[in-house]
């Protein structure tokens, strides 16, 4: 799209601002306890202000109310939307974006404000307009425009009970969506990052898989070394064997990884440099302990444990 084409396109889309998506439309049913109860059961809501008329009668309100988050529910169109929705200003705007390649869609923000509580017997009317459309934006998802609808909810007396602003990004997808690419069981619970197993350290991780922490030992001068490497730092011998650690250790240094949370890892893991009784150091996690209780010199006892579906790791506990 060159600058002139963009100008023509933007004139067309900005003409939608102010257009009505839904003229004022009363909900087919009044606010009612059966729908509230069904909603509350699913959401796990036990608030007596919604569900318990006896409690509500003695409360400050004197009667039950509808959950505020149900405000948009009362006017929903119903099952016929599975067969498509009647065209309106919003669907026409979306179609125009699609025609110009802005086929991506992403709801980004929704804000509901409530001015008045509603109760069973009240009837909610919704009116929705296209309130604003942004200038062209470059986002991490692609180039596009944000448009925002504004819904206004009124009761049977014409009093405004609340509003909703819903912001949607229409954008040019950076890569073509894989058509029906998703398949069953694609949802894998993330695990820790797999250990890098090379020629010089694969043996160490394989022992870890078996529940053992080994320490490499020079066959010539008996010096222990960790992490694994091909040559002794003392005598340059490349001959080595290993001993098994007892996993008794002491904190040399520690920190907690606060941010960001990494998928597959516990929140705020405590990471420490631990000196083992054998003399070498190992970097590992301290578990079963609050960060504030860790100190330099703290005695630890390690265990090799399965920490997720795929990973065995040494973890250290307060001794």
Partner 1 sequence: MTDYKTLTCAEVSVGDTLEAVDIDITTGLVVCGALATRDFEPVHHSKAEAQATGLPDVFMNILTSQGLMTRYATDWSGPEAFVNSIDLKLGAPNLPGMVMTMTGEVTAVDASTGRVDITVLGENNIWGMHMQGTVQLTLPQEA
The footprint of partner 1 (CB under 8 A) covers 35, 38-39, 41-49, 54-55, 58-61, 67-70, 72-73, 76-82, 106-114, 117, 177-190, 261, 263
CA distance 16 to 12: 7
Query: What's the min distance (Å) between Cβ of 50 and partner 1?
Result: 8
Query: What's the min distance (Å) between Cβ of 130 and partner 1?
Result: 18
Q: Point out which residues pair with 306 in neighbouring strands.
A: 312
Q: Point out which residues pair with 284 in neighbouring strands.
A: 272
Query: What's the min distance (Å) between Cβ of 261 and partner 1?
Result: 7
- A 10 A CB-CB count for 230 gives 10
Crossing angle of the two packed helices 89-99 and 3-14, in degrees rounded to 10: 170
Query: What's the min distance (Å) between Cβ of 64 and partner 1?
Result: 10
**Terminal Cα distance for the chain, rounded:** 67
The two tokens of residue 269 are 């893991």
Query: What's the min distance (Å) between Cβ of 17 and partner 1?
Result: 22
Radius of gyration of the chain (CA): 31
- In the complex with partner 1, the residue whose CB is nearer, 110 or 296, is 110
- In the complex with partner 1, the residue whose CB is nearer, 77 or 305, is 77
- In the complex with partner 1, the residue whose CB is nearer, 148 or 278, is 148
Q: How far is CA 309 from CA 189, 191, 196, 202, in A?
A: 9, 7, 17, 20
Q: Are 161 and 125 a contacting pair, CB within 8 Å?
A: no
- In the complex with partner 1, the residue whose CB is nearer, 53 or 230, is 53
- In the complex with partner 1, the residue whose CB is nearer, 122 or 278, is 122
- In the complex with partner 1, the residue whose CB is nearer, 168 or 300, is 168
Taking Cα atoms as reference points, which of 115, 80, 85, 69 lies closest to residue 22? 85
- In the complex with partner 1, the residue whose CB is nearer, 145 or 205, is 145
CA distance 90 to 109: 17
Query: What's the min distance (Å) between Cβ of 295 and partner 1?
Result: 25
Element (H, E) at 285: strand 281-286
Query: What's the min distance (Å) between Cβ of 39 and partner 1?
Result: 4
């Amino acid at each position: 799209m060159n600058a002139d084409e963009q100008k023509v396109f933007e004139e067309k889309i900005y003409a939608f601002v102010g257009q009505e998506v839904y003229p004022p439309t009363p909900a087919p049913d009044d606010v009612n306890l059966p729908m509230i109860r069904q909603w509350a059961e699913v959401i796990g809501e036990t608030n007596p202000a919604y569900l318990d008329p006896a409690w509500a009668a003695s409360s400050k309100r004197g009667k039950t109310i509808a959950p505020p988050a149900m405000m948009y529910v009362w006017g929903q169109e119903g099952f016929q939307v599975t067969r498509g929705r009647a065209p309106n200003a919003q669907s026409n705007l979306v179609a125009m974006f699609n025609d110009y390649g802005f086929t991506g869609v992403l709801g980004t923000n929704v804000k509901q404000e409530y001015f008045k509580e509603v109760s069973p017997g009240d009837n909610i009317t919704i009116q929705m307009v296209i309130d604003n459309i942004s200038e062209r934006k470059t986002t991490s998802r692609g180039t596009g425009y944000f448009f925002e609808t504004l819904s206004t909810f009124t009761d049977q007396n014409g009093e405004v009970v609340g509003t909703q602003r819903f912001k949607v990004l229409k954008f040019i997808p950076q890569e073509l969506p894989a058509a029906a690419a998703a398949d069953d069981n694609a949802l894998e619970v993330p695990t820790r990052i797999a250990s890098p197993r090379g020629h010089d350290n694969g043996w160490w991780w394989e022992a870890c898989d078996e529940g053992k922490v080994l320490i490499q030992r020079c066959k010539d001068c008996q010096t222990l070394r960790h992490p694994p490497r091909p040559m002794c730092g003392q005598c340059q011998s490349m001959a080595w064997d290993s001993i098994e650690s007892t996993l008794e250790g002491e904190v040399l240094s520690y920190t907690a990884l606060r941010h960001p949370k990494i998928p597959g890892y516990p929140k705020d893991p405590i990471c420490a440099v631990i000196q083992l009784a054998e003399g070498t150091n190992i970097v590992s996690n301290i578990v079963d302990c609050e960060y504030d209780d860790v100190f330099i010199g703290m005695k630890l006892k390690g265990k090799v444990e399965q920490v997720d579906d795929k990973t065995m790791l040494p973890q250290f506990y307060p001794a």
